[in-house]
Amino acid sequence: MAVSQAVPITRHPFADGSYKKMLIDGKWVDAASGKRFETLNPATGEMLATVAEGDAEDINRAVAAARRAFEGPWSKAKPFERQNLLLKLAELVEKNFEELSQLDTLDMGAPISRTRGNRLRVLGMLRYYAGQATSLHGETIENSLPGEIFSYTLKEPVGVVGAIIPWNGPLAATVWKIGPAIATGCTVVLKPAEEAPLTSLRLAELAMEAGIPPGVVNVVPGFGETAGAALAAHPDVDKVAFTGSHITGQSIVRASAGNLKRVSLELGGKSPDIVFADADLDAAVPGASMAVFANSGQICSAGTRLFVEEKIYDEFVGRVAEFGRKLQVGNGLDPNTQIGPLVSEQQLERVTGYLAIGQTEGAKALAGGARVTEGPLAKGYFVQPTVFANVQDNMRIAQEEIFGPVISAIKFKDMDELIRRANATTFGLGSGVWTRDVAKAHHVSKALRAGSVWVNCYQAMDPAVPFGGYKMSGYGRESGKQHLEEYLNIKAVWIKTA
């Protein structure tokens, strides 16, 4: 493991130690309770800002504002106006992109190369949703009733959306929730993660600057058990769009029962990434490594169960371990950093807990295996990129989501056995296949029970291509036309004309 140089903290205009309020009805306000919480830089442990700590009362205020906005002039906003607002927001995000990238890096630790690299995706999403705003339509449908009766459908916004997001990519996650809401004419109350609330607040400032009307986008930072739970249970919220752990996803589904609100869930995974002996190994080594190590493994679709064909297992896993050892770990602000810290002390404990479990279960750490405790990184939440070999299917490190830079390398021999084992998980989000054989690529892509299959690549994403889970990775899709449908109701209209 190489260590990046320590980087002096530059003063960021939005992470300068000051106090940030929440956005309700177009106004920046304190929490009703007056409470505040701190948000830290996980690379250094330094405090970046204090933030208004919303709870049930603030959620009530924000939902009321979102309801008023939904029923007010916003309900009359033409598709073209919603499109223009999104394009204006895209322009402002583009203008301020460097500042937003640094803010994500400071608040959750990701390397600046990664947060800068999100540029096309984030701007692409805003512009894609802008395009969709003028492409929504119902249908005229022939019916077989006697007489003359005309039937057609209208697509209408579902209403007030509660958006609850995690900390692993705050800028993209915020855009992924508010983009479709604005495109369809919904209003939103967004609760960012307590670990990294700053970018959502900054984006809300830009939304106001773009001219998005008061109450259409509200941002209430706070904790999951208070603000998040209140939003999920709120009787006047029409839909919850959630991204996070499956445990919290289950509690959101239970909370939704009160008013049977619509729910979409983007949850975790334990994705298989499969390397056949006939693969281009020079591409598969970095590809399969970064399928896990990117963002320090804090990606829902990370390819953490690395299935390698027996005849190349030792060689391939050895090369992945070597790749992991050479990665530069450090403060995300250093442009040379490839692996940043984990987001919080809690995640550090969780991940180091799994490192210990892997060792007790009998897996062998060929690379990494520990927290970084020496030098300038000792103050942050850094874990060495880790490759476990000799992993068996029933080990906890092969079954449970670790959400850290940890690869569990598993051996396989024949195709049928492989597919059964790759699918033997409660999750079904991502999956990868590395092979030069087209027939094999098609066969395995069809057989895997997962929402995305990446062949000879990993983690490709596009605003127009749907993303989401099978099984306990959740339901509903983000990106693509399906995403807009999650925010729309269908009304059937019958008109008797004779």
**CB-wise, 224 or 358, nearer to Mg ion?**
224
Please give the sequence-ordered ranges of beta strands (E in DSSP) within 158-220, or none if there are none.
160-164, 187-191, 217-219
Residue 297 or 368: the one with the smaller Cβ distance to Mg ion is 297
**In whole angstroms, what separates CA 120 from the centre of its chain?**
16
Q: Which of 53, 194, 266, 486 is catalytic?
A: 266
Q: Of 53, 55, 194, 478, which one interacts with ligand NAI (CB under 6 A)?
A: 194
Beta strands in 33-88 (DSSP E): 36-40, 47-52
Helix (H, G, I), strand (E, B) or coil at 119: helix
CA distance 303 to 73: 46
**Residues 325-354, mask of contacts with ligand NAI (x by CB under 6 A):** ----------------------x--x----
Question: Token pair 């939440």 is at which residue?
Answer: 381
Is residue 81 flagged as an active site residue?
no
**199 near ligand NAI, judged by CB under 6 A:** no
251 touches, from Mg ion, ligand NAI, none (C-beta below 5 to 8 Å by class): ligand NAI
The mark string for 49-78 relative to Mg ion (x by CB under 5 A, - otherwise) is ------------------------------
> Is 459 within 8 Å of 301 (Cβ atoms)?
yes
Q: Which of 458, 474, 354 has its CA nearest to residue 426? A: 474
Which residue lies nearer to Mg ion by CB, 125 or 198? 198
**Contact flag: residue 107 with ligand NAI (CB under 6 A):** no
Cα 476 to chain centroid, rounded: 14
Kindly tell me which residue out of 251, 399, 456, 489 binds ligand NAI, with binding defined by CB under 6 A. 251
Q: In the sheet where 47-52 sits, what is the strand order?
A: 19-20, 47-52, 36-40
Query: Which is it for the CA torsion 227, 51, 216, 158, positive or negative?
Result: negative
| DSSP bridge partners of 163 | 190, 241
Q: Which residue is nearest to ligand NAI (CB)?
A: 224
Which listed residue (244, 340, 368, 369) binds ligand NAI by CB under 6 A?
A: 244
Which two three-digit tokens encode residue 191?
């609760």
CB distance 461 to 483 below 8 Å:
no
300 assigned to active site: yes
CB within 8 Å of 321: residues ≥ 6 apart: 366, 367, 387, 389
d(CA 370, CA 406): 10
212 to 241, contacts with ligand NAI by CB under 6 A? 223-225, 228-229, 232
Residue 468: contacted member of ligand NAI, Mg ion, none (CB under 5 to 8 Å, by partner type): none
Does 191 sit near ligand NAI (CB under 6 A)? yes
CB of 140 to ligand NAI, least distance (A): 40
Write down the least CB distance from residue 298 to Mg ion, Å.
13
How long a stretch of residues is the chain? 498
Q: Which of residues 378-437 bind ligand NAI (CB under 6 A)?
A: 401, 403
Q: Which of residues 213-232 bind Mg ion (CB under 5 A)?
A: 224
Decide which of Mg ion, ligand NAI, none touches 243; Cβ closer than 5 to 8 Å per partner kind: ligand NAI
Residue where the block lists tokens 């068996």: 392
* Catalytic option among 53, 300, 401, 478: 300
Active site residues: 266, 300
Q: Which residues of the shown chain bind Mg ion in the complex (CB under 5 A)?
A: 224
